[in-house]
Homo-oligomer: A and B are copies of this chain.
């Protein structure tokens, strides 16, 4: 189902089931929601034990009253299936629903996210409650979407899951000989005689067969998707045709979201940036890249399902948001192509583990609080810029983000078990483009590369079958490729490529990677410019952690190492291949390197954002498009007021003042008719 909205969503998780004995509070909630400019809530996420207090006994009236009350105030509902936390009676009566951990211990009832996704009993109980909800509320005019379960995650090692894993492997590999060969099981004499022999990874068993670990992670995604589809089918079978979402999490390592996203209609995600831990722009950029990842999963609008309006109690330090942070954080998803900003949570719970998690309405309960005022300001602003709803993001740059490759790389033992620093390197690459105002999509190895001008691969450890060929074609046809060290090392069962790496791209790049050096934390090397290099690079940069030693075979060295026994060896190269260009970054260089190198390369290629003048440090410039219009978002994450680089040509102001200096944490939104397309 298509998700369409003509307002930007504003609201959050709402748990009236905690307050059924306080009708006065429920009444007040609705009033305060309206007062704060909220137009939607997520409802019923942990309500199963209230909805079905005993097996087969359903109590849905209270929910209807809540929905009606909200609807009367103009507030819509994203209705949750309650599978994120099961009732205790279900665990007590059917222990098979309880997860078994890696050490093969059946868990007791407790916390949440602890049910077996394979269990037929659990699936049946979920089907029933989902259908009950869908039958009752699937056509209520207030309800606009399904919130399927909550933050899917975790894994189960019970016998049911072991059997499902074996079936999945059998389907994938067909013969055990094929599996043995792909998994390299002769190492340490681990050859399997049959699929029935295989057990999931365990700290009391196998931990170091990397292909097993990798396939297990893939299976966990597969099985979670299968469960999610089962949940969706239940609401569909009950006649609901509303769009469905699942709330995803910040760079979540446990599931391949590119795969999960295939089964949902709209992506939403939960963001809890640790503002204050680093300077604002660093936090903002990391959050921005995750917004871009979420948008890229379906290349469609997404929204922010959760974020904290105040301090986040489960973080090490529950830091208050200084004035303006909530505003800036809430505008970020919109600036990156999202359709709304929601919070966890509307009303703070009185007890248990999240009782000190920030909320729109806190324990005090009044609207005369700083947080409530700031939430209201967000609501007013979202209303003021609601015309951007439905516009899309176009990106000239694709940045590789492949779950399988990341999983395998972190597990592969070497070349730096004390930290590969992949995420930091990724952010440096991303920042090089973002500082130029260029939109970036994140892609995995299955994504199409068509319509991109630039492909950036940061530690693309695994090249799955066909990927190198796709990249080669991309360059051949005129694309610009940037690849770093530690790319194209292994195939998609983490089996190393023979005969030279980066696999399949040695001719494209004009070099071969020979050795890679791991540096101790206290060591660094340098990148020194080659005199008169094509990109005009003149500065020296430090690099750390990993230094790749390449044998150049056709590529032009632009920079060389400055130290150690490989001083003078190529550290940055550029090669022409077909109509395109392929650069190789050999070491984990500092941020300034990426900024200067990417700026020089983009200038050479004539790729730029549609604004005039340089973009000040800390100012984020993003764009959204309709068929005829382009929206310009400016957010100032620096500590100083900055002057805006305005659109090329005539523009109108949607929000803020385009001519004045933009104060820290402030936003300006402009729009212009599209005269030139930059993609």
Contact = CB atoms under 8 A, between A and B. Distances in A.
Query: A92, A183, A187, A311: which has the most chain B beta carbons within 10 Å?
Result: A187
Given A88-B193, A351-B211, A499-B364, A318 B188 contact: no
Contact of A498 (B48, B365, B417): B365
B417 A191 contact: no
Interface in A166-184: 181, 183-184
A488 B516 CA distance: 49
B355 A412 contact: yes
A388 B191 CA distance: 43
Contact of A188 (B21, B184, B352, B493): B352
A2 interface: no
A521 B199 CA distance: 44
Nearest to A211: B351
A478 interface: no
A677 interface: no
Contacts of A352: 183-185, 187-188, 190, 208-211
A495 B187 contact: no
A588 interface: no
A208 B515 contact: no
A340 interface: no
B414 A318 contact: yes
A495 B350 contact: yes
A50 interface: yes
A518 B357 CA distance: 13
Interface in A182-219: 183-193, 197, 199, 202, 204-211
B108 A202 contact: yes
A317 B412 contact: no
A95 interface: no
A108 B199 contact: yes
Contacts of A418: 316-317
Contacts of A197: 88-89, 92
Given A319-B520, A496-B363, A184 B108 contact: no
Question: Contact residue range for chain A?
Answer: 35 or more
A444 to B, nearest CB: 22
Interface string A547-590: 00100000000000000110000000000000000000000000
Task: Please give the count of copies of this chain that the complex contains.
Answer: 3
B414 A565 contact: no
Contact of A18 (B186, B371, B498, B520): B186
A197 to B, nearest CB: 6
Contact of A517 (B18, B210, B320): B320
Contacts of A357: 414
Contact of A50 (B47, B110, B191, B313): B191
Given A54-B193, A204-B101, A520-B319, A363 B414 contact: no
Nearest to A416: B317
Contacts of A319: 517-520
B322 A186 contact: no
A495 B353 CA distance: 11
Given A187-B46, A193-B88, A493-B351, A109 B314 contact: no
26 contacts: A18-B187, A48-B189, A49-B185, A50-B186, A53-B191, A54-B193, A87-B191, A89-B193, A109-B199, A110-B207, A183-B351, A187-B355, A208-B353, A210-B352, A314-B414, A314-B417, A315-B417, A316-B418, A318-B415, A319-B520, A350-B495, A351-B496, A356-B413, A357-B414, A364-B499, A364-B512
Given A48-B189, A209-B353, 9 more contacts: A15-B187, A17-B186, A107-B204, A184-B351, A187-B349, A187-B353, A208-B353, A320-B549, A350-B496
The 10 closest A-B pairs by CB, nearest first: A184-B351, A108-B205, A110-B206, A356-B414, A313-B414, A208-B353, A110-B205, A187-B352, A318-B415, A49-B191
Interface of A: 15, 17-18, 21, 46-50, 53-54, 82, 85-89, 92, 101, 103-105, 107-112, 181, 183-193, 197, 199, 202, 204-211, 276-277, 310-311, 313-320, 322-323, 348-357, 363-365, 369-371, 412-418, 493-501, 512, 514-520, 549, 564-565
